[in-house]
């Protein structure tokens, strides 16, 4: 399924999760913040499945051919990843600038995620060039390698946040940890789905 029909719901979930998140942190309510970030994560999971499911069918190549279908799938999943990073940046920046909660590193983490989101968006745009080097099989294989690395990295981050009690911490970074954990879980699932779909498409005849 194309991303465009899903975009309004994803953007609404993004905005609402941030608004509710800011209000929740202002009232020191971790439970409400957890619900707010879960709203975005669930919407993204829905979008991942709706976007990738059509590519799991045996006749997913259609008239476009295998390589074009793979590039389209990779581009859509790349855009989803960019949106997750953008949400993380917006959430951290909004929460710590509007809720009254103070954490000295909030802007560094927010800015870093914003830069990553911008870079991923640019890469997704480059994938629209049908004759570009970024759509070559070798380039897409390299991207999938990076996707695996991303999945492992965010999984380690999630284990660290949960295992070391960061989600029940009383320090001023507690709200950011909710965002980091949710973003890590969402990216881990997206990385897994992306790699599985890519490998399934690669097994098809050209």
pLDDT greater than 80 at residue 191: yes
Whether residue 21 contacts residue 34, with contact meaning beta carbons closer than 8 Å, is answered with no
pLDDT, residue 59, reads 61
| Among the listed residues 185, 172, 176, the one whose alpha carbon sits nearest the alpha carbon of residue 113 | 176
Other residues' Cβ atoms within 10 Å of the Cβ of residue 128: 12
Whole-angstrom Cα distance, residue 45 to residue 91?
Answer: 18
| Residue 1, pLDDT score | 65
Start-end of H helices in 56-136: 66-98, 106-126
The residue with tokens 């070559």 is 136
- The alpha helices in the chain, defined as continuous H runs, are 7-26, 30-52, 66-98, 106-126, 137-163, 174-202
Dihedral, CA of residue 12, residue 15, residue 16 and residue 22, to nearest 10: 180
Residue 137: exposed, middle, or buried by beta-carbon count in 10 A (0-12, 13-18, 19+)?
exposed
Q: Which two tokens stand for residue 74?
A: 């990779």
pLDDT at residue 2, as a whole number: 78
Going from N- to C-terminal start, the domains of the chain cover: 4-202
pTM equals 0.93
The answer to whether residue 50 scores a pLDDT higher than 70 is: yes
* pLDDT at residue 189 in the model: 97
CA dihedral 151, 112, 73, 154 (to 10 degrees): 10
* Number of Cβ atoms within 10 Å of the Cβ of 31: 8
Neighbours of 189 (CB within 10 A): 18
User: What are 121-168's pLDDT values in tens digits?
Assistant: 999 999 887 777 888 888 888 999 999 999 999 999 999 999 988 888
60: pLDDT strictly greater than 60: no
Q: Which residue has the tokens 């859509």?
A: 76
pLDDT value at residue 17: 97
Q: What are the tens digits of pLDDT across the range 79-100? A: 999 999 999 999 999 999 999 8
């Amino acid at each position: 399924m194309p991303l465009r029909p899903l975009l309004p719901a994803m953007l609404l979930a993004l905005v609402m999760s941030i608004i509710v998140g800011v209000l929740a942190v202002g009232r020191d309510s971790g439970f409400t913040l957890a619900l707010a970030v879960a709203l975005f994560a669930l919407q993204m999971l829905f979008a991942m499945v709706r976007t990738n499911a059509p590519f799991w069918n045996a006749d997913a190549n259609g008239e476009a051919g295998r390589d074009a279908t793979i590039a389209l799938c990779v581009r859509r999943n790349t855009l989803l990843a960019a949106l997750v990073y953008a949400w993380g940046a917006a959430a951290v920046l909004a929460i710590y600038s509007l809720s009254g909660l103070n954490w000295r590193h909030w802007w560094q983490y927010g800015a870093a995620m914003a830069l990553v989101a911008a870079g991923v968006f640019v890469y997704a745009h480059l994938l629209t060039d049908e004759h570009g080097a970024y759509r070559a099989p070798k380039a897409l294989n390299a991207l999938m390698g990076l996707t695996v690395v991303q999945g492992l990295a965010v999984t380690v981050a999630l284990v660290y946040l949960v295992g070391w009690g960061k989600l029940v911490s009383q320090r001023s970074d507690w709200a950011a940890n909710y965002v980091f954990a949710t973003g890590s879980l969402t990216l881990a699932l997206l990385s897994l789905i992306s790699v599985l779909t890519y490998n399934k498409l690669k097994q098809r005849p050209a």
